[in-house]
Amino acid sequence: MTVLRLIHTAAALVAAGSVAETLWTGLADRGDALAFGLLITVGELSRWSDGRARQAAPLGAAGSLSYALLGAVAGRPSQHDAAQVVTVVVVAALLGAVPHIWSGRASTADHLARRVLTVGFAALCFQPLYNKGVFTSLDGSAYALLLLTLLALSSLCGTVLAAALAHCRTGWPFGPLLREEVRGLLGIGSAVVATGAVMALAVAVAGLWALPVFCLPLLLVQLSLRRYAAVRATYRQTIASLARATEIAGCTPAGHARRVAALSLAVGRDLRLTGPELTVLEYAALMHDIGQLSLVDPVPAGATAGLPAAEQRRIALLGGAVVRQTGVDPAVAVVVERQADPYPGQPLAARIVRAVNAYEEKSRDAGPEGAPRALEELRRGTAGEYAPEVVESLARVLAQPQAARERVPVRRPGWSDPAPGWVTHG
């Protein structure tokens, strides 16, 4: 948590110093500051959360970065400095965060810290040099390229901060989190960068009336992405309902699929699977027992790990056939079908589902000694039944404190979905 405290402390110092300097020197170009502050506040009010550690406010991010790189308004050189930029962004972001804090829907501290440091970096790179006239010799294309470059660097800074904050909050490996953040940067992040640059250039020529004109497309994109998130939520709820069919039919114990999915995701994170791979893993883990619905004689307690290999493969193939008929991603059906194959030829997701399912079946209702005994059985089966790297990863996950493991829930939709990469930015 040292990194988390360091980021929060740095953001607090930057914000406090900027506010103090602005109060001392006074607010320059008050109309410009009010217009951008209003835009940032609206963007923060429309912010949404799609997980425990992620926030998305692309409109607020574009407005903040645009103000940080604002050099002129309708041909008139601006007079504000980097400290005023951070002050306006902090005040506007806090105003926009009030409903989120009041409702308790999302954590705001990480979001504000990342916003302050990212905008502060952009403003510090641009405003002092612009106010000294360093950029006056640049022509239109060179000036636009300069803004895009600074925006891209600022967005990369925000991406690294977001991954670091998520790593501190969840304990998940930093590398995969950073890859997911970069994927988000290539998605809605590119729209934020482009919109920020266009708004700064347009305001320099046309004045503040350019703000509502050029922020409207990004707002519409944001609304579309929220609808996409709702569709993904419905999609996952459908899969979860299908997974519960085995419980309702009495084929498996209550909560078995959910527990296997949650633990499989923890192992997948530990093994550094990518976002799309985690999505396939979760869906396959939820539906791994669905083949039992096709059996005439149910398996006692739904425990397939103790069945003969041929019977396990038959149930797995039946499950894959059911999954294919549901219209779910064919990759999920492949994992369900191959979960009972010998591990050297299995996809990694199938290896994870097989090992985690066996562990859950062997450890449930076995008392305090059930978990270590089940893990030891899995280790003895690494000669040909269970993948050694998966078993060791499972052991590492189980060695974590219970509170840390609970930070890896069955994911909400969109957290690691393969497209369009929007949930991490802003």
Does 39 share its domain with 157?
yes
Total structural domains in the chain? 2
Q: Which residues span the domain enclosing 195?
A: 2-208
Share of the chain above pLDDT 90, in %: 28
Amino acid at 405: R
* Mean per-residue pLDDT over the chain, rounded: 83
* CATH code of the domain covering residue 378: 1.10.3210.10
Whether 6 and 131 share a structural domain: yes
pLDDT in tens, 184-193: 777 778 888 8
Same domain, 240 and 191: no
CB-based burial label for 48 (10 Å; 0-12, 13-18, 19+): middle
Cα–Cα dist 391/45, whole Å: 45
Answer yes or no: do 191 and 242 share one domain: no
Q: Is residue 216 part of a domain?
A: no
pLDDT band of 104, cuts 50, 70, 90: low
**For residue 356, is it within any domain?**
yes
Same domain? 246 vs 118: no
| CA–CA distance, 72 with 68 (Å, rounded to integer) | 11
Residues 108 and 189 in one domain: yes
What pLDDT was estimated at residue 404?
A: 52
- 196 and 284 both lie in a single domain: no
Q: Give yes or no: residues 253 and 160 share one domain.
A: no
pLDDT digits (tens, 9 = 90+) for 256-299: 888 999 999 999 988 888 888 898 999 999 998 888 888 877 78
CA 42 and chain centroid, separation: 22
Residue 414 domain-assigned?
A: no
pLDDT of 249 over the 90 cut? no
Q: 103-112, long-range: CB within 8 Å, 24+ apart, which pairs? A: 105/49, 106/47, 106/48, 106/49, 106/55, 107/52, 107/53, 107/55, 108/55, 109/8, 110/8, 110/53, 110/55, 110/165, 110/169, 111/47, 111/55, 111/57, 112/11
3-state secondary structure of 301: helix
| pLDDT at residue number 120 | 94
